[in-house]
A and B are shown apart, each in its own frame.
Chain A
Amino acid sequence: MQPPPPQGGMPSSAPPHAVPQNSVPQNGVPQNGVPQNGVPQYPADQAFQPGGGLSWSPISKRYTWHRRIAATLWAVPITVLGAYLVARGGGALGAALWGAAALISLGLAWIVADLAYRSWGYAERGDDLLVTHGVFVKRLVVVPYGRMQVVDVTAGLLEQWMGIATVRLHTAAAATDAVIPGLPAAEAALLRDRLARKGEERSMGL
């Protein structure tokens, strides 16, 4: 196992990945950023870590409860209505099965809510923002500050009541999809202001 990479998230033993001093190609010689010998130059177990001695800033624990309450609020009417309809058509056994299925789904949703909370993280680096999340499909997005077009903070009714908010970053690419949910409202506003300031300093257009 290799030691964690040095600051900046760059593997020290990676000349092909070095930042080009100028953008003039050297006699057309291809400089592959892909490792030449197929050996990973970044420790695989660190691939979803922020790197560079940083650690993920977590989101609020209230995010878990927000998801759980939201799931419960959805589950109750679905369970009751479904059980009523099933009971009318198939009797008490069907209704009981329906109820059991709904309960199991709700239980899974509660567990996933906690896993999702643990999977979220963001880190502010010198020139870009890193966001990671995903329980089943793991994602890590790197958004350069200069590419941010809009940073907005939204909070639904339940989120407002719980004092959390969602920070959303828009770039020209719809696929970027950099969202940080479940931040304490004050922290969200601070993060937005910080990101907006950094974005303005480095703004690039398209």
Chain B
Amino acid sequence: MPPGPYGAPGGPYQGPTPPPVRFSEGVHRLHWATAPLRMFVILSVYFVLLGLPLLLTQTEDGVVLVLTPKAVARFVIVTVPMAFIAVGVGLWAWLALRFRVDGDDLVVETGLLRTRKRRIPLSRVQAIDVVRPLVTRLFGLAELRVELAGGEQNAIALRYLGRGTAQQLRAELLARAAGLPGHTPEAPERPLWRVSGGTLLASLVLRLPVLGTALLLVVSLVLLVLYAELGMLAVTIPALLGLVRAVVAPMVMYGDFTVAISPDGIRLRSGLLEERMQTVPPGRVQAISIVEPSLWRSYGWARLDVTVAGYAGERQALSSVLLPVAPRQVALHLVAQVFPGADVDAVRLLPASSKGIAGAASGAGTDDRIFVVRHGRVCRRTDVIAHARAQSVRLTQNPLQRSLGLATVHIDAPPGPVRVAAADRDLGEARAILESTARRAQAARAAAGDPARWAARRS
């Protein structure tokens, strides 16, 4: 493997190696700086909400900031106990959370007087993220998130750990989840793709809804200036907010996006302000969608959306993109990494029945490993699910389809952005797809086994 443009394998996060921490021995706590950080947050909130008003004095001229002895005394009397409370809460929060690695489990204990113990089997880990928000980057802190299947409450967030500690803990958790001894050094990674800022910006702008909104913004601004018609603000402001949401926010979030492949899974790094490092172990991606908006196709670009079980609610929106933009070949290569041996383009797609509303633009096909559905005339989406990942198969028929003798086959995956459904197949064909998919899923599951402990199983 020749060294890529990203430096030696192992990634850019090397630096001077701190002495290894043994998470399986003793009890570990969050980074000590968490306590002062929390105190600082509490005191800032207090100062804005209560402290500052206490310093203000009501006079005939209005409210003024005069440091009269009375105001200062009043401020000090309230602030000193408040400071003690903040120190207490900060120390308490820091002391109350302890964690260690015990065999194949991560044990997290919370509370000082009444201890609550959570034991997390590492074989059920769906993804591990290291997040560094802007503020904590200044202090060299990082948040470690362990995603488990089953919703919002089932994620473990350790905020905040030292940067080196977070890296080591992630490596150890992944190694143990893979069935290797915990002191295994972090698996080397192979950089796959880096999204340049220019491409990202161009790809975000070159979408019909974004261009339409931009046009609307320009027209409304012109009208606003020419006719001084303030009513146009009702169009301008939403259009501006829409553009910020569609272009600026993804720019900040996916800026500096890199994808790397390692035996531990796919590593994603991104973020201009908040830096995120995601690791999705093998077999954890449930379904993938290759999205090709109409204007991207002439450039040969594609985006990859994925469903990973465990990312629930708000974090799902943050973590559903595997690749914000890349040449189609790179995207397909990544799909082949996620679902080993899958070749999306080799799967022959058969068009849906011409009678239905889905029409010939949508098609479905399958091989032994994956089921592929393509749909959408303007924005083309190709949904891919591995047979081994399918949860259940469904056949549905709405009244319109019943009158036409059609049905839709759904391949169910855990909730996420990707829904695989072959719409408007002829009824007999639909049932045949249903049966063959159920059998292939059965065979694939039997062949693949449980995705836990991927390293031990392979060797």
CB–CB B391/A142 < 8 A: no
Known: A33-B433, A42-B435, A173-B391. A139 touches B414 (CB 8 A): no
Q: Mark interface residues in B422-454 (1 if CB within 8 Å of A CB, else 0).
A: 000111111111111111111111011011100
CB–CB A44/B428 < 8 A: yes
Q: Could you tell me the distance between the alpha carbons of A187 and B299 in the complex, rounded to whole angstroms?
A: 60
Nearest CB on A from B122, distance (A): 13
Q: Could you tell me the distance between the alpha carbons of A33 and B346 in the complex, rounded to whole angstroms?
A: 14
* A53 CB within 8 Å of chain B: no
CB–CB B428/A40 < 8 A: yes
Nearest CB on B from A175, distance (A): 5
Which one of B343, B395, B402, B405 has the highest number of Cβ atoms from chain A below 10 Å of its Cβ?
A: B395
Chain A residue with minimal CB distance to B387? Answer: A23
CB–CB B395/A30 < 8 A: no
Say whether chain A's binding surface is mostly helix, strand, loop, or mixed.
loop
Q: Could you tell me the distance between the alpha carbons of A126 and B379 in the complex, rounded to whole angstroms?
A: 41
CB–CB A22/B398 < 8 A: no
CB–CB A32/B443 < 8 A: no
* A25 CB within 8 Å of chain B: yes
CB–CB A141/B394 < 8 A: yes
Chain A residue with minimal CB distance to B434? Answer: A142
* A157 CB within 8 Å of chain B: no
CB–CB B440/A33 < 8 A: yes
CB–CB A30/B392 < 8 A: no
Residues of B contacting A171 in the complex (Cβ-Cβ under 8 angstroms): 391-392, 412
Q: Could you tell me the distance between the alpha carbons of A41 and B427 in the complex, rounded to whole angstroms?
A: 10
CB–CB B443/A19 < 8 A: yes
Residues of B contacting A47 in the complex (Cβ-Cβ under 8 angstroms): 395, 407, 427-428, 430-431
Q: Could you tell me the distance between the alpha carbons of A60 and B407 in the complex, rounded to whole angstroms?
A: 28
Residues of A contacting B343 in the complex (Cβ-Cβ under 8 angstroms): 28
Q: Could you tell me the distance between the alpha carbons of A203 and B216 in the complex, rounded to whole angstroms?
A: 54
* A51 CB within 8 Å of chain B: yes
| Chain B interface size range | 35 or more
Residues of B contacting A146 in the complex (Cβ-Cβ under 8 angstroms): 445
Nearest CB on B from A54, distance (A): 13
Which one of A19, A23, A204 has the highest number of Cβ atoms from chain B below 10 Å of its Cβ?
A: A23
Q: Could you tell me the distance between the alpha carbons of A41 and B425 in the complex, rounded to whole angstroms?
A: 12
Question: A10, A128, A137, A206: which contacts B398 (Cβ < 8 A)?
Answer: A137
Question: A20, A33, A38, A143: which contacts B392 (Cβ < 8 A)?
Answer: A143
CB–CB A34/B365 < 8 A: yes
* A31 CB within 8 Å of chain B: yes
* A186 CB within 8 Å of chain B: no
Chain A residue with minimal CB distance to B413? Answer: A173
* A46 CB within 8 Å of chain B: yes
Q: Could you tell me the distance between the alpha carbons of A22 and B348 in the complex, rounded to whole angstroms?
A: 20
CB–CB B432/A40 < 8 A: yes
* B399 CB within 8 Å of chain A: yes
Residues of B contacting A24 in the complex (Cβ-Cβ under 8 angstroms): 368
* B124 CB within 8 Å of chain A: yes
CB–CB A32/B415 < 8 A: no
Residues of A contacting B367 in the complex (Cβ-Cβ under 8 angstroms): 25, 30-32
Which residues of B does A touch, CB under 8 Å?
123-124, 126, 149, 284, 286, 309, 341, 343, 346-348, 350, 364-369, 371, 389, 391-399, 402, 405, 407, 410, 412-415, 419, 425-445, 447-448, 450-452
A-B contact pairs, 19 of them (CB 8 A): A17-B432, A17-B439, A28-B346, A31-B368, A33-B437, A35-B432, A40-B429, A40-B431, A40-B432, A42-B435, A47-B428, A51-B435, A138-B395, A138-B397, A140-B396, A144-B445, A175-B392, A176-B391, A205-B451
The 6 closest A-B pairs by CB, nearest first: A40-B428, A33-B436, A173-B391, A173-B412, A17-B436, A44-B428
Which residues of A does B touch, CB under 8 Å?
9-11, 14, 16-17, 19-20, 22-25, 28, 30-36, 38, 40-44, 46-48, 51, 127-128, 134, 136-144, 146-147, 171-176, 178, 204-206
